[in-house]
Amino acid sequence: MTDSINVTVRGLRSEDTDSLFALWNTGDIIRNSLELPYPSEEAFRERFNNLTPNHHMLAAELSIASGRKRIVGLAELRVFVKRMRHTGRLNLFVHPDFQRAEPETRLLETTLELAGQWLGLRRVEVIVFVDDTNAIALYDHHAFVIEATMRRYARREGVYADAHLMTRFFADQPPKENES
């Protein structure tokens, strides 16, 4: 194993859709999310190229020694509106080889920084299936708490599966004077 992995977290670009499409069809990504199998490439392109101002997409890009780059993770943050505009819903998609590793951690931490420090969100929510212990451990490690357990939340491989709503809470911060 090489230890010279170089990860960059950055905004999504239109040319990323091909590598995202490949990422989608990897491992348990579809199973453990709310995505449907057999995605259409056309619909995919449409979805990731037409973002509203309340919709933020961050990509984790890996630089490989040969100079090639590869997308190994995507974070999708959708901010609610009006009386819930202090809340965002996060979806995290990380290639199985890079889960519980630096690309996943960096992607999540950067997205939480965007949410808390720049968007000023108070709540960031994720939905995780109750048996997805890796995801639960990841969010638990980043101070998310289980707020609700939703029975028959979504279909998965022929059955209804229960899911947790986990929330990372950002407390009010005292206003800080600009240093002159």
Q: Which stretch binds other proteins (CB under 8 A): 2-10, 16-24, 58-66, 141-149?
A: 141-149
Whether 76 contacts 67, CB under 8 Å = no
Considering only residues 40 through 79, tell me which ones interact with other proteins, judged by CB under 8 A. Answer: none
Residue 123 binds other proteins, judged by CB under 8 A: yes
Radius of gyration of the chain (CA): 17
Q: Which stretch binds other proteins (CB under 8 A): 3-11, 83-91, 95-103, 109-117?
A: 83-91
Residue of 51, 37, 52, 136 whose CA lies nearest to 92: 136
Q: Which stretch binds other proteins (CB under 8 A): 7-15, 19-27, 54-62, 151-159?
A: 151-159
Distance CA 33, CA 156 (A): 9
Distance CA 50, CA 47 (A): 6
- H/E stretch holding 165 reads strand 159-169
Q: Pick from 34, 64, 137, 143 the residue near other proteins by CB under 8 A.
A: 34
Q: Pick from 4, 14, 36, 42 the residue near other proteins by CB under 8 A.
A: 36
Residue 169 binds other proteins, judged by CB under 8 A: yes
Residue 105 binds other proteins, judged by CB under 8 A: no
Nearer to other proteins, 45 or 123 (CB): 123
Distance CA 48, CA 32 (A): 20
Distance CA 24, CA 74 (A): 10
Q: Pick from 10, 13, 70, 86 the residue near other proteins by CB under 8 A.
A: 86
Which residues, 6+ apart, have CB-to-CB distance to 174 below 8 Å? none
Q: Pick from 65, 68, 151, 176 the residue near other proteins by CB under 8 A.
A: 151
Look up residue 41 and give its DSSP letter: H
Residues that bind other proteins (CB under 8 A): 34-36, 82-87, 122-123, 146-156, 160, 165, 167, 169
